[in-house]
């Protein structure tokens, strides 16, 4: 009887140690502000065909259905500066094409009837803990039927703050983003979401980026980069 009790006690302790080694799944706030830097590697036959670089700032009010994404896109020697504002079912997209042939041409379009702002981090609920690198924990979700993988890296001592996000869609692209100064305590203010006054209607908000990307990427790849841009704007894809 004493031996059985000792065995159960030791088993419980060992099980507790195993559970202690598995960190809690991240719970990331859907309302936040952050700087970000990202690179999209456009693939062709398992080799990098081109690199799409982007950096910017995000302010996101999930409960209020509002989001502002200001960024700069670099493709080759050309640049596109853009501001995407989502408010309820409307998306306002302003862009300045800084390529040599455009001389800073500005466009502003408004899309109506868009889907409400969707969760950015709900996919984290489907991740599995896949290891630790230094002081960082790695969480991964894989969808073999789609050849699609998403990876989230968080600080081991602060798992609710995203550090790095990687999205891999074989054989088309790899998208890697780094978050800088992610603030889950961000308090939305109306002054952060000012509606531009000079926007004309447009049925497809992704058309701005598409026209820019067509200079560098084959037509059958454009839809995948458009999905990345829409995901960053909070759309379900």
Closest CA to 29 of 116, 117, 115, 122: 122
> Is residue 230 within 8 Å of 93, Cβ to Cβ?
no
Q: What confidence score (pLDDT) does residue 177 get?
A: 93
Structure tokens at 143: 């969808």
Q: Kindly state whether residue 215 falls inside one of the protein's structural domains.
A: yes
What is the Cα–Cα distance from 148 to 158, expressed in whole angstroms? 27
Domains held by the chain: number: 1
What is the Cα–Cα distance from 129 to 24, expressed in whole angstroms? 9
Percent of the chain at pLDDT exceeding 90? 41
Q: Kindly state whether residue 153 falls inside one of the protein's structural domains.
A: yes
Q: What is the pTM of this model?
A: 0.76
Q: Kindly state whether residue 62 falls inside one of the protein's structural domains.
A: yes
Dihedral sign of CA atoms 30, 147, 133, 18 in order: positive
Give the domain range for residue 138. 32-232
Q: Kindly state whether residue 5 falls inside one of the protein's structural domains.
A: no
Closest CA to 95 of 111, 103, 84: 84
Q: Please report, for the domain that includes residue 170, its CATH number.
A: 2.50.20.30
Q: What confidence score (pLDDT) does residue 101 get?
A: 61
Work out the mean pLDDT of the chain and round it to a whole number.
Answer: 79
The pLDDT of residue 26 is above 80: yes
Give 146-205 pLDDT, tens digit per residue. 888 999 999 999 999 999 999 988 888 888 999 999 999 999 999 999 998 888 776 554
Q: Kindly state whether residue 14 falls inside one of the protein's structural domains.
A: no
Q: Kindly state whether residue 216 falls inside one of the protein's structural domains.
A: yes
What is the Cα–Cα distance from 127 to 108, expressed in whole angstroms? 38
The pLDDT of residue 19 is above 60: no
> Is residue 151 within 8 Å of 140, Cβ to Cβ?
yes
Q: Kindly state whether residue 10 falls inside one of the protein's structural domains.
A: no
Give 67-122 pLDDT, tens digit per residue. 999 999 887 777 888 899 999 988 898 888 776 666 667 888 888 877 888 899 99
What is the Cα–Cα distance from 92 to 180, expressed in whole angstroms? 25
Q: Kindly state whether residue 103 falls inside one of the protein's structural domains.
A: yes
């Amino acid at each position: 009887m004493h031996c059985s009790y000792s065995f159960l006690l030791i088993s419980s302790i060992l099980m507790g140690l195993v559970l202690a080694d598995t960190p809690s799944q991240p719970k990331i706030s859907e309302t936040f502000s952050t700087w970000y830097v990202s690179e999209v590697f456009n693939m062709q036959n398992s080799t990098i065909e081109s690199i799409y670089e982007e950096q910017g700032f995000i302010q996101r009010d999930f409960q209020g259905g509002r989001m502002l994404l200001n960024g700069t896109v670099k493709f080759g020697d050309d640049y596109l500066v853009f501001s995407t504002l989502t408010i309820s079912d409307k998306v306002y997209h302003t862009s300045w094409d800084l390529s040599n042939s455009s001389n800073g041409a500005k466009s502003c379009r408004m899309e109506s009837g868009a889907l409400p702002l969707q969760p950015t981090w709900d996919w984290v609920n489907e991740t599995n803990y896949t290891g630790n690198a230094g002081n960082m924990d790695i969480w991964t979700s894989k969808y073999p039927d789609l050849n699609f993988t998403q990876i989230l890296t968080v600080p081991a001592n602060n798992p609710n703050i995203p550090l790095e996000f990687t999205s891999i869609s074989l054989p088309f692209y790899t998208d890697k983003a780094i978050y800088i100064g992610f603030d889950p305590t961000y308090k939305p203010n109306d002054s952060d979401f000012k509606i531009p006054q000079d926007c004309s209607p447009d049925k497809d908000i992704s058309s701005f980026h598409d026209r820019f990307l067509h200079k560098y990427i084959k037509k059958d790849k454009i839809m995948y980069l458009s999905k990345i841009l829409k995901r960053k704007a909070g759309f379900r894809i």
